[in-house]
Amino acid sequence: MVEISSDVIRGYNDTMILYILMREPSYGYNISKEIKRISDGKYAIKETTLYSAFTRMEKNGYIESFVANPDPEGNGKKRTYYRITNHGKEYYSNKCEEWDLTKEVVELFIEDKGE
């Protein structure tokens, strides 16, 4: 079975997180589940990777955190939510462009079995 190695995905974990935050603010556990769902179970971000990405991205100004209750009534345990900033949107957009270029280059060195 082929598995995605961390060295490959390195540098795109941030992009995946931001993709989710582009839609609406979210928090660690939910983002983790979303990534698994969107990738149809093909990829699961490690918890430690996820939370350290939050710290880094907040420091870089790509995201902002706020603590809130899961429901408006104020019930349940408070969570740390993250929302994407304008700077983060710009960063995400650059990452997408970078991906296109990277893909183009890497493919030149890939030989598919079928060909």
Contacts to DNA by CB under 7 A: 6-7, 9-14, 27-30, 45-49, 51-54, 56, 70, 75-77, 79-80
Element (H, E) at 47: helix 47-59
Gap between the Cα atoms of 111 and 106, Å rounded: 10
Nearest distance, CB of residue 59 and DNA, angstroms: 9
Residues 88, 18: contact at Cβ < 8 Å?
Answer: yes
Q: Which residues bind its own copies (CB under 8 A)?
A: 2-5, 7-12, 15-16, 19, 22, 38-39, 42-43, 93-94, 96-106, 108-113
